[in-house]
């Protein structure tokens, strides 16, 4: 589908209500007119994705989302498809009632869902049960239909939002449709891009329904999707001192791999110099494996201080541990007041001893770490990832990368971006250490904390997607490094040239 100039913008449900009213006013039409446009866009999506389709079943709820489904039934029947309509209720309300009447006026039959019954043996199911208004678990009858659709083994097209998915948060409080394609209307919904949405949405498309650009310009988005970016070319008259000196601090006994991954990803992301402060027993192995890293054995704060003086940026936490050695290094590093990235045990120590940061700082928690920092449960964080990321950024005075499916980047003023890349293969050890090194390297090269977090998160996820082209299962953190280097330099087609 063509890229809309506002396609990166993501909105809350409240904002979408405002936009819908403004769209109707700007277009000079009532609700049924916009509903017809939605139905036409849905038929177009059906035709593109499943051109050989003969028989569909449309599942309609009582509200406007169901109205879209009824009008899709009218258009699909006129296009020669065999259409069956299944409804949750005996009557529809508002504009959906007129849409239901239009279906019935053409001789269409409406079958009511019975949890004891079976679905028609259609080639495709269309989910038009609930739209953006549902923020609770579906009622038992609707839940049984959702589960039947999911278990049918047939592809599913969801209209606007997969039913059961909270369009504001990406949380599923109960049963939710697992769509193969979701066609969302007018504008992007922020909840379709993070959390559980990754398993529910499938291929996501936006149909703006001809809404004029003025509607989008008048409603600033709540969040935005990251754009694919790279670092600018380097000046020909450059030296390593121009690109920062990063110090990675961590690697308690048995965790040398964490600091190596963080340090190596920092080098691949372009840091001029990378030192590692770690346990003395790890130094020879690090020197042998990656001689470009300047590895130093430190037994406590006194040995760390001269390394801190030479560094311009710190990466604190990979493999640090929370015992006396790690805690002492953590305190000494934070007291240096230098720009830093804080991850892993650096965050766990922060949860025990909270502080607000003055220097440019990026925190990179997963949901469990974020929960400890906010003194809530992990489930609470996942119920509203947007609120959690923003609150953590505000509380700590830092940019926060809340990792997970659809990673979120938030700053203390409430700005928020969403990462649209990444894959389940990246749910493996060492991936967070890579991200720490990448973001810290970008800080060292002169990026602001916000720029480093956004660009670093995007490069990390995109490198993961390229590496996963050979399969998600078994993906190693180190598999991302070559792709990271190519993407950071703005190179395209790298994977084809090097297969």
pLDDT digits (tens, 9 = 90+) for 361-411: 999 999 999 999 999 999 999 999 999 999 999 999 999 999 999 999 999
> Span 233-245, mean pLDDT?
91
Task: Give me 171's structure tokens.
Answer: 């949380």
Secondary structure percentages of the chain, helix, strand, coil, to 5: 45, 15, 40
Length of the chain (residues): 499
pLDDT above 80 (res 316)? yes
Q: Of 45, 98, 200, which is closest to residue 56 (Cα–Cα)?
A: 45
Looking at residue 115, its pLDDT comes to: 83
pLDDT above 90 (res 245)? yes
> Span 407-424, mean pLDDT?
98
> Span 430-450, mean pLDDT?
98
413: number of Cβ within 10 Å: 10
Confidence category of residue 96, pLDDT binned at 50, 70, 90: very high
Confidence category of residue 4, pLDDT binned at 50, 70, 90: confident
Looking at residue 497, its pLDDT comes to: 40
Confidence category of residue 493, pLDDT binned at 50, 70, 90: low
pLDDT above 80 (res 487)? yes
Looking at residue 491, its pLDDT comes to: 85
Strands (E), 212-268: 223-225, 245-249
Taking phi over 0 as left and psi of -120 to 50 as alpha, with beta for the rest, 94 belongs to left
How much of the chain exceeds pLDDT 90, in percent? Answer: 94
Dist CA 209 CA 45 (whole Å): 13
pLDDT above 50 (res 434)? yes
Residue 360, CA distances (Å) to 145, 259, 339 in order: 50, 21, 5
Dist CA 450 CA 227 (whole Å): 14
Contact 403, 410 (CB under 8 A): no
pLDDT in tens, 251-304: 999 999 999 999 999 999 999 999 999 999 999 999 999 999 999 999 999 999
Residue 172, CA distances (Å) to 60, 195, 360, 421 in order: 20, 9, 35, 21
237: number of Cβ within 10 Å: 6
3-state secondary structure of 362: strand
Dist CA 200 CA 162 (whole Å): 7
Looking at residue 3, its pLDDT comes to: 66
pLDDT above 90 (res 116)? no
How much of the chain exceeds pLDDT 70, in percent? Answer: 98
pLDDT in tens, 39-53: 999 999 999 999 999
Confidence category of residue 84, pLDDT binned at 50, 70, 90: very high
> Span 340-357, mean pLDDT?
97
3-state secondary structure of 34: helix
Looking at residue 235, its pLDDT comes to: 87
């Amino acid at each position: 589908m063509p890229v809309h100039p506002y396609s990166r913008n993501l909105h809350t449900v409240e904002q979408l209500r405002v936009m819908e009213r403004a769209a109707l006013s700007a277009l000079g039409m009532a609700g049924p007119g916009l509903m017809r446009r939605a139905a036409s866009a849905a038929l177009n999506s059906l035709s593109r994705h499943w051109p050989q389709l003969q028989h569909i079943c449309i599942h309609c709820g009582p509200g406007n989302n169901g109205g879209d489904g009824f009008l899709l039934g009218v258009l699909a029947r006129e296009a020669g498809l065999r259409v069956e309509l299944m409804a949750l209720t005996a009557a529809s309300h508002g504009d959906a009632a007129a849409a239901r009447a239009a279906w019935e006026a053409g001789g269409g039959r409406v079958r009511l869902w019975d949890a004891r019954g079976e679905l028609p043996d259609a080639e495709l199911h269309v989910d038009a049960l609930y739209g953006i208004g549902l923020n609770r678990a579906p009622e038992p009858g609707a839940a049984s239909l959702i589960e039947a659709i999911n278990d049918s083994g047939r592809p599913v097209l969801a209209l606007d939002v997969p039913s059961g998915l909270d369009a504001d948060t990406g949380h599923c409080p109960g049963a939710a449709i697992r769509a193969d394609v979701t066609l969302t209307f007018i504008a992007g919904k922020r909840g379709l891009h993070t959390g559980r949405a990754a398993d529910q949405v499938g291929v996501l498309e936006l149909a703006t329904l001809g809404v004029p650009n003025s509607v989008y310009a008048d409603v600033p988005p709540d969040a935005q999707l990251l754009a694919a970016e790279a670092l600018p070319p380097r000046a020909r008259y450059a030296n390593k001192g121009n690109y920062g000196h990063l110090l990675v601090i961590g690697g308690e006994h048995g965790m040398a791999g964490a600091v190596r991954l963080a340090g190596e990803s920092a080098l691949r992301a372009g840091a001029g110099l990378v030192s590692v402060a770690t346990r003395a027993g790890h130094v020879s192995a690090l020197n042998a494996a990656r001689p470009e890293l300047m590895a130093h054995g430190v037994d406590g704060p006194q040995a760390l201080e001269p390394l801190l003086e030479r560094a311009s940026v710190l990466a604190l936490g990979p493999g640090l541990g929370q015992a006396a050695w790690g805690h002492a290094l953590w305190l000494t590093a934070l007291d240096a007041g230098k720009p830093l990235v804080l991850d892993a045990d650096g965050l766990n120590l922060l949860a025990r001893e909270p502080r607000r940061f003055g220097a440019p700082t990026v925190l990179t928690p997963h949901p469990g770490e974020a929960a400890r920092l906010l003194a809530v449960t992990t489930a609470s964080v996942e119920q509203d990832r947007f609120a959690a990321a923003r609150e953590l950024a505000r509380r700590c005075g830092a940019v926060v990368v809340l990792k997970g499916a659809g990673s979120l980047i938030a700053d203390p003023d409430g700005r928020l971006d969403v990462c649209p890349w990444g894959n389940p293969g990246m749910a493996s050890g060492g991936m967070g250490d890579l991200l720490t090194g990448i973001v810290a390297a970008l800080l060292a090269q002169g990026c602001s904390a916000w720029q480093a977090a956004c660009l670093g998160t995007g490069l990390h996820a995109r490198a993961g997607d390229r590496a996963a082209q050979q399969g998600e299962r078994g993906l190693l953190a180190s598999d991302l490094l070559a792709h990271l280097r190519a993407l950071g330099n703005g190179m395209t087609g790298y994977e084809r040239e090097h297969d």
